[in-house]
Structure 1
Amino acid sequence: MDTVTQKKSWYHTVLTNLTFYVLIAIIAGVLLGHFAPATAIKTEWIGKTFVNIIKLFIAPIIFLTIVLGISSIGNLKKVGRIGIKSLIYFEVVTTLALGIGIVVALLVQPGNIDRTGLDLQDASKYTKQAGSSFNWIEFFKANLTLQVLLVAIIVGILFNYSRHRLKLIHFFGRISHYVFTALKYVMYLAPLGAFGGMAYTIGKFGLQTLVPLAKLMACVYLTMFVFIFFILGSIMRYYGFRISSFLKNIKEELLIVLGTSSSEAALPSIMRKLEKMGCSKSVVGLVIPTGYSFNLDGTSIYLSMAAIFLAQLYNIHLSAGELLTILLILMLTSKGAAGVTGSGFIVLASTLAAIKTIPLEGLAFLLGVDKFMSEARAITNIIGNGVATLVIAKSEKEYVEENV
C-alpha cells in the first residue's frame, strides 16, 4: 500500500469513527459553555433527551439478555454459582474502594481549605429524603433496573423447565437482534448527547466554580485513577488481562459517559462490547445489570471521601471507631446509590444521619461541584463493571480468549 492510499485509509477510519465525533462534540460543548454560557445552558435538553432515549433500551435489553443468558445455560446450579460469585466480588471490591477513599481523604485532608467563596446551595431536599436510615423497599420500588432484573431471572428459570425452551430462545433471540439493531442507529446521536451535556455543565457552573473545591476534586480524580490502574489493573493481570487494552476497547463508551455524565447511557453498548471481547452472553447478562446496582466503585470512593471531607470542613475529629462505623454503614448504603435521581446525596445523607456526628447541612458544600465529579464516578463505575464481567467470565470458563 502506497503512502497516499495509507493516508486516505487513515482519514477514512477517523472520519467514520464515532469516537472522533463524540470527542469533537465534547470540545465544542466546553468552548460554547465557556464563551457563550447563556446559549450553552439552553442545550441541556439535548443531553437529557439522548440519555432518556438510551434509557428506553435499558429495561428490554436487560430483560432479554438475562432471560437468554439463563435459559441458554440450562444448568441452574451454574446460574446460582455465577450470581453468588458476582455478589461476593462486588462486596469485596466496593469495600476496597470505600477504604481507599477514606485513607486518601485522611492523608491529603481536602477539607482543610479556606471556606471563603464556597457556593452554598439548599440541601434540604436531600436531607429530608434521607430520614434516619436507607429504605430498601422504597429503593426497590423506584429502581426499574432491579425490578426488571428480578422478573428476568424468574422468567429465565421458568424457560429452563419449558418443553419449548429452544423455540423460546430462538424467538427472544430474534427480538434481541432487532432491539440491538435499533440501538445501533440511536448511538449515532451520541455526539449530540455529549455536546448538550458538556455545554450545559460548563455554561451553568462555569470553569471558575472548580477553584474553591479543586482540592477535593483532585483527590477524587486521583484516587479513582489509582483505583482503576492499580487495584482493577492488578485484578485483571491476575486473570491474564491488561487494563490498558480493555480501556482502549471501550473508549467509545467512556467518551459517551464523559459527555453525558451517565453510565446508563453506555450500558447497552458496554454489554454488547463485552460479548464481542469474548464473554458469554449469560455472564454479561447476569453481571452487568447486577453490577449497576451493587458494584459502584466510583460512587463508593466518592461517598467515603465526601464524608471525610465534610468532617474536615467542620473541623470534626473522627475516632477510629467512627471511621469504622462510616465504612460499615457505607458498605450497605452504597449499594443503593443507583437508579434514583439524586440518590448519591440521599445515600450520603442517610449515612451522615446514622453517624450523627457530621452535620447534614454540609451537603450544601458539595452541590456546586458534584456535577463535575459525576463524570469520574460514572467512568469508574462502568470500568469496574466491565472488569468484573471479564474476571467472572474467565473464572467460570465462559470466556473465549481474545486480545484484551
Structure 2
Amino acid sequence: MAKRLTRYILIALVLGVITGWVINAAIDDGTAESAARLKSIADYLSIVTALFLRLIKMIIAPLVFSTLVAGIAHMGDIAALGRVGLRSILWFVLATFVSLTLGLILVTALHPGVGLNLPLPPATAASGVETAAFNLKDFISHVVPQSIFEAMSANEILPIVVFSVFFGVALTAIGEKGKPLVRGVESLVRVMLQVTNYVMRFAPFAVFTAVASALAERGPQIIMTLGKFVGSFYLGLLILWAVLIGACFVIVGPRTRHLVRYIRDPVVLAFSTASSEAAYPRTLEELERFGVPPRIASFVLPLGYSFNLDGSMMYMTFASIFIAQAYGIHLSLGQEITMLLVLMITSKGMAGVPRASLVVIAATLSMFRIPEAGLLLILAVDHFLDMGRSATNVVGNAVAASVVARWEGDLGPALSPDIEAAHAASRRAEPRKAG
C-alpha cells in the first residue's frame, strides 16, 4: 500500500503541475478578468483539498490520545520508570529542543516562504496574529482541560495531551487491573493508524488539486518557492543528523560508527516508506545487536516513538513558520518562542506514521491565527519531506536508546557489521562443506 500510495502521489504531483501550468498559460493574459477566472477555477479545485483537510482534523483527538497513552503504558510499572525513565525524558527534552530550535533558526535565516505573498483568507484577514492572545496566564490556564470531551470536540491539543499523560500514568500505577484498558488503548492505536491509512488514500487527489489550483492561480513561479522550501528543509535535516550523531560520538564513543552501519537498513526502510513506524521492528533488532540491552531498547524505543520524533519536530517549526511567511504574517521573537514551547508539548502526541505531523501542524496553526489553508501549500511536497523526517526519526530514536544504555553503564559489546557478516557467511557455508 505504501509503495502504491507513493507512486500515486508522485503521479498526482506531476499531473497537478502539468494541469495547473496548462490552465494558467491558457487563461492568464494579465487582465483582471483572467485573474478572476483563474481564481474561480482554483476555488473549485480546492474543494477536494478542503475535504482532505477536514479528514486530517477529524483524526486529531483520538490519534493524539491513543498514541500518547499507549506510549506511557509501555513504560511498565511506576517503579520501573526510575532512573531509566528520567534519563530518557531528559534526552527527549534536549533532543526536542535542539530539533525545534534548529528548524526555527533555519527557516528564519533562509526564509523560504518570503516572496510568495499569498492573500489571507477573508475569514482571518482582519485578525492576523494577535500578540495579546498569547499571554502567560491564559496559556497556562488553558493547558488543563475542564472537560476532556470539550477539548476533544474542539480539537484542543494541549488539554488532550495533559489528560492523556494523567490517564497513562494512572494506568501504569494500577498495574494488572489496568491491563484490559491498556489492551483497549493499544487496539485503539491500531484502529487509528488504520483510519489514518484510509485518510491518506485521499492524499493523491488532494495533492493533484492543491498543486493544480496553486499553479493555475499563481503560475509556475510557485514551484521555485516550494523547491527552496524542500531544499532548505533537507539542509536542516543534514545538520540535525550531524548534531545527533556527533552527540552520540561524545557520549557513546567511537563505536558509534557501528551504530550508524547497523541502523542503515531501518533508515532506508523508513525513508522509502515515509514511515518511521514501519522501521520499528528492525530498529529494535539492530539496537540489540549493537549492544543495547532488550530491557532498555524495548522501553526507550516505544517511548521515543511518541516523545522523540526529531525529524518531525524540526519539520513542525519549519513548516509552521514557512506558512506564516507565505501569508506575509510577521511573528515576533516572543511569538516564535511561544510556538516552540507549544510544539514541545503538542509534538509529544504524534505517531510515527506517514504525514502524521500534518495533524499537529493543523492544530498549531489555528492556535496562532495562521490560516490552516496554508497546509495545502506544503501538501504537494509533503511526501518528499516525510521521507527525510521519517529517516531522521529512526536515527534520533536509535541514538536515544544507545545514549541511555551508555548512561546506565549497560551498553554491551557490539560486533562489527563486517565481521558479523563474515561469520554469518561462514555459518551458511558449513552445511555445504559437510555435504
What is the 5 A alignment of 1:1-400? Answer: 79-114=81-116, 131-136=155-160, 154=175, 212-241=225-254, 243-338=256-351, 343-356=356-369, 358-400=370-412
In the TM superposition, what whole-angstrom CA distance separates every residue of 1:311-349 from its partner, at most 9, and x where no partner exists? Answer: 111112211111111111111111122167754222112
What is the DSSP-based 3-state SS (H/G/I as helix, E as strand, rest coil) of the residue aligned with 1:238? Answer: helix
In the TM superposition, what whole-angstrom CA distance separates every residue of 1:25-50 from its partner, at most 9, and x where no partner exists? Answer: 99xx97x967xx89xxxxxxxxxxxx
Q: Look up the equivalent residue of 2:345 and give its one-letter code.
A: L
In the TM superposition, what whole-angstrom CA distance separates every residue of 1:205-227 from its partner, at most 9, and x where no partner exists? Answer: 79x99755111111111111111
After superposition, the Cα gap between the structure-2 partners of 1:156 and 1:110, relative to the gap in structure 1 and judged at 3 Å, is farther
Task: Say whether the 8 Å CA contact 2:248–2:256 is kept in structure 1.
Answer: no
Task: Say whether the 8 Å CA contact 1:97–1:297 is kept in structure 2.
Answer: yes
What is the DSSP-based 3-state SS (H/G/I as helix, E as strand, rest coil) of the residue aligned with 2:320? Answer: helix
CA distance in 2, matches of 1:149, 1:298: 30
After superposition, the Cα gap between the structure-2 partners of 1:275 and 1:154, relative to the gap in structure 1 and judged at 3 Å, is farther
What is the DSSP-based 3-state SS (H/G/I as helix, E as strand, rest coil) of the residue aligned with 1:346? Answer: helix
Structure 1 segments (4+ residues) deviating >3 Å: 76-79, 113-116, 128-135, 137-141, 146-158, 208-212, 241-245, 339-343
After superposition, the Cα gap between the structure-2 partners of 1:260 and 1:343, relative to the gap in structure 1 and judged at 3 Å, is closer
Task: Say whether the 8 Å CA contact 1:297–1:381 is kept in structure 2.
Answer: yes
Task: Say whether the 8 Å CA contact 2:106–2:236 is kept in structure 1.
Answer: yes
CA distance in 1, matches of 2:170, 2:259: 26
CA distance in 1, matches of 2:92, 2:308: 5
In the TM superposition, what whole-angstrom CA distance separates every residue of 1:339-379 from its partner, at most 9, and x where no partner exists? Answer: 677542221122222223x2222122111111111111111
What is the DSSP-based 3-state SS (H/G/I as helix, E as strand, rest coil) of the residue aligned with 1:213? Answer: helix
CA shift, 1:78, in A, is 5.9
After superposition, the Cα gap between the structure-2 partners of 1:282 and 1:351, relative to the gap in structure 1 and judged at 3 Å, is same
Task: Say whether the 8 Å CA contact 2:96–2:308 is kept in structure 1.
Answer: yes
CA distance in 2, matches of 1:340, 1:228: 20
Q: Look up the equivalent residue of 1:215 and give its one-letter code.
A: K
CA shift, 1:112, in A, is 1.7
Unaligned 5+ runs, structure 1: 1-24, 39-58, 117-127, 159-196
Unaligned 5+ runs, structure 2: 16-66, 119-151, 180-199, 212-219, 417-435
Q: Look up the equivalent residue of 1:270 and give its one-letter code.
A: T
CA distance in 1, matches of 2:248, 2:154: 35
Task: Say whether the 8 Å CA contact 2:287–2:398 is kept in structure 1.
Answer: yes
CA shift, 1:285, in A, is 1.0
TM-score between the two structures when normalised by the length of structure 2: 0.57
CA shift, 1:403, in A, is 5.5
In the TM superposition, what whole-angstrom CA distance separates every residue of 1:71-116 from its partner, at most 9, and x where no partner exists? Answer: 9xxxx85642101211121011111100010000111111124479
Q: Look up the equivalent residue of 1:369 and give its one-letter code.
A: V
Task: Say whether the 8 Å CA contact 1:307–1:352 is kept in structure 2.
Answer: yes
CA distance in 1, matches of 2:10, 2:409: 48
What is the DSSP-based 3-state SS (H/G/I as helix, E as strand, rest coil) of the residue aligned with 1:349? Answer: helix
Task: Say whether the 8 Å CA contact 2:270–2:387 is kept in structure 1.
Answer: yes
In the TM superposition, what whole-angstrom CA distance separates every residue of 1:183-220 from its partner, at most 9, and x where no partner exists? Answer: xxxxxxxxxxxxxx9xx98xx879x9975511111111
CA distance in 2, matches of 1:263, 1:156: 32
CA distance in 1, matches of 2:154, 2:387: 24
CA distance in 2, matches of 1:82, 1:228: 24
Number of aligned pairs? 295
CA distance in 2, matches of 1:299, 1:400: 30
Task: Say whether the 8 Å CA contact 1:134–1:333 is kept in structure 2.
Answer: yes
Larger Rg computed on CA atoms = 2
CA shift, 1:156, in A, is 13
Task: Say whether the 8 Å CA contact 1:129–1:346 is kept in structure 2.
Answer: no
CA distance in 1, matches of 2:337, 2:401: 30
After superposition, the Cα gap between the structure-2 partners of 1:84 and 1:328, relative to the gap in structure 1 and judged at 3 Å, is same
Identity rate of aligned residues, in percent?
Answer: 32
**Residue in structure 1 matched with residue 142 of structure 2 by the alignment:** none
CA shift, 1:151, in A, is 6.4
CA shift, 1:300, in A, is 0.7
CA distance in 2, matches of 1:259, 1:314: 32
**Residue in structure 2 matched with residue 164 of structure 1 by the alignment:** none
